[in-house]
Chains A and B, each alone.
Chain A
Amino acid sequence: MSQRVVRSILVRRRHEEVAAFVTDPHQVLPVVPGFARFAFVHDAGPGVEEWDVFLEIGTLHVGGRVEVTRPSVRRLAWESGRGTRHRFSLEVQPVGEHAELTMEMEYSLSGLLMARVSELLAKGIVARHLEAGLEEIRHHLEYGDVVPA
């Protein structure tokens, strides 16, 4: 069983500009506060990069070694290879002159009853992290600032 969390935000910039930024992990990861630990590992083939990415949640570091791909010019995605089982994506859709940015995370924890309970409790935490990430990206693209974590 797994849990899926989706959050979206409107960014008042042209969608091409937003897409160019969010589909580059070298640019977007430093701006998202929850991703306290990230490092490029190596190129793993055409259009595929391996990264170590961790979301810091209090005493837990949720994440691991991931394969990052760009399925389209408007989408960044990764899937875990080791660590917490999860998938993540950032996608940009044009909305008039601006852009809607959507973050999605799907994760699953090992175990039975307690794991299910933990997964459900974690949904709120993950949602708040996605919202924070979206707000930080939005503010950075609209004003150029990076708000310290």
Chain B
Amino acid sequence: MRLPGLPKLIKGAPADLTDRDPDFIRQMLPRLWLVGQTYFRAEVRGFENVPDEPVLFVGNHSGGAMVPDTFVFLLAHNTYFTVEGRPLYSLGHEMVTAFPFFGTFARKLGVVTADPTAAAAIFDQGASALVYPGGDVEALRPWRDRHKIVFDGRKGFLKLAHANGVKIVPVVATGGQDTFFVLNDGRKTAKALGLDKLLRVKSLPISMSIPWVLFPGDFMHVPLPAKIRIQVMEPVDLHQRFGDDPDWDEAYDYVTSLMQAGLSTLASKTVLPVLG
């Protein structure tokens, strides 16, 4: 039995930078602010660390399918640097950009299918990019690992930044993984079902969320009003630190170590989970 639309969903929408709609983003900003400020009591600090040039923001992914801290970051970046001042694109999973309705919304906000050619075009036009190397594995990590960096050994973001001569700006966030609760890892389940080959999805954990109560994986849910904190860290110049021909394992270990220290420090500000 063929599932209509599934091949397109798997393939993802072609990367098209013209889908980003500044007028749409400006319309969305007040809404994002209302939700970000009143519901998530969000705090975003550290933009003064960002150099005045295109950069690759590298973040820790949280919140399952709803990724609330991504929207908070988009809101903060687009207001700090203005919508046209330093455009921001987000390199996303192909399933996100092709999803019906939501995919169109995401592309208008600047989400493009993760692709080296698209990334190069982003930097060439003077824009910055945001990437979450941990992807689905990190966004669906168990609650007990909510303050851990889980990039799953993925080094593409390093090669992307190095090849394009842009600095990496680490962005760590807490609170996103308190908006729903992932009970287990789920990697063995995903592998047993062949999801890693079919959909490039590496984990199928069990999550607790509203209204599903218990759900395999995650689907659109009502996120809990957890306090979200985001810290933009100082940039890392890969060429300066690791030279023209880096040892990628060494570079990966350094960046993840740096981000882990930053994330743990940010997490120490939490008084009570969810409440803040």
A residues adjacent to B (C-beta < 8 A)? 33-34, 57-58, 121, 124-125, 128-129, 131-132, 134-136, 138-139, 142-143, 145, 147-149
B265 contacts A132, C-beta separation under 8 Å: yes
A135 contacts B270, C-beta separation under 8 Å: no
B residues adjacent to A (C-beta < 8 A)? 147, 233-234, 254, 257-258, 260-262, 264-265, 267-273
B268 contacts A148, C-beta separation under 8 Å: no
Given contacts A34-B268, A58-B269, A58-B271, contact A138 B147 (CB under 8 A): no
Given contacts A121-B272, A148-B234, contact A128 B258 (CB under 8 A): no
B271 contacts A147, C-beta separation under 8 Å: no
Given contacts A128-B147, A131-B147, contact A139 B261 (CB under 8 A): yes
Residue of B258, B261, B269, B272 touching A124 (CB-CB under 8 A): B272
Residue of A124, A135, A142, A145 touching B265 (CB-CB under 8 A): A135
Q: How many A-B residue pairs have CB under 8 A?
A: 56
B258 contacts A143, C-beta separation under 8 Å: yes
B269 contacts A138, C-beta separation under 8 Å: no
Q: How far is the CA of A136 from the CA of B266 in the complex (A)?
A: 12
A136 contacts B265, C-beta separation under 8 Å: yes
- What B residues does A132 contact at CB under 8 A? 261, 264-265, 267-268
Q: How far is the CA of A135 from the CA of B262 in the complex (A)?
A: 8
Which B-chain residue is minimally distant from A140 (CB atoms)? B261
- What A residues does B262 contact at CB under 8 A? 147
B271 contacts A125, C-beta separation under 8 Å: yes
B261 contacts A135, C-beta separation under 8 Å: yes
**What are 30 pairs between A and B in contact, CB < 8 Å?**
A33-B265, A34-B268, A58-B271, A121-B272, A124-B270, A124-B273, A125-B270, A125-B271, A128-B268, A131-B147, A131-B268, A132-B261, A132-B264, A132-B267, A132-B268, A134-B264, A135-B260, A135-B261, A135-B265, A136-B264, A138-B257, A139-B257, A139-B258, A142-B257, A143-B254, A143-B257, A145-B258, A147-B262, A147-B265, A148-B233
